[in-house]
Amino acid sequence: MERTMLRRRALTAGTAALAVGALALAGLTGVASADPAGTTTTVRAEAPGTLPPGLIKALQRDLGLDAGEAAARTGNEYRAATIAAGLEKSLGASFAGARVSGDGAALTVATTDASEAARITGAGADAEVVGHSLDRLEAAKAALDEAARNATPKGVPSWYVDVRTNRVVVNAADTSAADTFLTAAGVSRSVVKVNRSGERPRALADLRGGDAYYMNGSGRCSIGFPVKRGTQNGFVTAGHCGRAGTTTNGVNQQAQGSFQASTFPGRDYAWVATNANWTPRALVNGYGRGDVTVAGSTEMLEGSSVCRSGSTTGWHCGTIQQRNTSVTYPEGTISPVTRTSVCAEPGDSGGSFISGSQAQGVTSGGSGNCSSGGTTYFQPVNAALQVYGLTLMTSGTPTDPPTDPTDPPTEPGGTWAAGTTYAAGATVTYGGAGYRCLQGHQAQAGWQPPNVPALWQRL
């Protein structure tokens, strides 16, 4: 019998119980499901809480939802993830994956055993009978991952388990590239779907300029989520942004900390320990739309909405397309990451992916941009927390970043203004001098033109 893989998909910390049935988002927060022995198992998880206005606006803009639909969708997605976790446990080896669809986040759970359909519908989900269990598909993907570790596949940008098609999807430049990869891995075509893809993913670190934090005074990336390790404060970010010992400066150009550990390629996560001037808060920067409070890190299902915060492009939203994806960058293969329809650009690397109030991961890489759209991958945050022994910050209030006490209390004058979005080539004045924008960005306090030569050139 195939082994049921519960470790990766197990729910993380939670405090309230949900019960199956017609559940409202507020008040009722429980799901019960029958285990194989016929007893009832209660899956516990945190309630999603109230969505901040900025997150609702981003969901409206990128997914075409009104405020009520955005709130309802995120609540339904959270409920679906909790129900699916209970069904995965009770279905055992016949579990074939779960997904949500539509603005209402309708839950579908797949099984290889038709006799389990009643159990699924009884838990409040649509049942689908398929040919391959999730364990079988993940075993095939694991074989592909092993082949990629031995030799980076050429012309194969990504591969993943697609629960919707009940196949392992291999995205490849052409059929021959896919065939070579499948042969090397010893994976049967019977469980694989090959898609032709011109995708050319790359890590999104931008070594040409400044961002929310600077590495060794030059390269830039985005903070993921504030964390603690014992009494030490810090944050998680992308592994390709720096190596152990790499020093960082914050958005205000003040000394911030250093990378304590970093993994890339293979995985794409790292953590930075910060000095006493920096206080971790359970917040994600809303870029003028209100900060988002982080309540937990429950992993959402395929089809769920997800939003990304990055200091190059701010807030953008989309949907989770596939979890447990492998992606090949020029530096090597990264796995597992989550594939999304959210756009991103260089400098967004390491930034936060969040669904409602639940932290999902840190931006790894992708293709395309936020003008024409693209595909982006994130490294699940729970993996980084576990590997490095970190605790996610899940409460806090907004604070301004530390400032240099010698800074003047007022701006010295000019047309530059925090909160303004500047395109490359734009010109401003500041402190009696003129500056030309070198890279498009949204200005923030501390990013005055003299402070960020990577963003502004003095005329």
* Catalytic residue numbers, as ranges: 240, 268, 349
- The Cα–Cα gap between 53 and 69 comes to 13
Least Cα distance to 353 among 294, 398, 417, 432 occurs for: 294
Q: Which residue has the tokens 């490849």?
A: 172
β-strand 126-129 against 158-162: which pairing, if any?
Answer: unpaired
What is the three-class DSSP state of 240? helix
- The 10 Å CB-count burial string (b at 16+, else e) for 412-440 is eebebeeeeebeeebebebeeeebebbbb
Q: Is the sign of the CA dihedral 379, 382, 387, 391 positive or negative? A: positive
- The Cα–Cα gap between 239 and 334 comes to 11
Q: How many residues does the chain have?
A: 459
β-strand 314-329 against 427-430: which pairing, if any?
Answer: unpaired
The torsion angles phi and psi of 78, rounded to 5 degrees, stand at: -65, -45
β-strand 247-249 against 95-101: which pairing, if any?
Answer: unpaired
The torsion angles phi and psi of 229, rounded to 5 degrees, stand at: -130, 100
Six-digit token pair at 81?
Answer: 């993830």
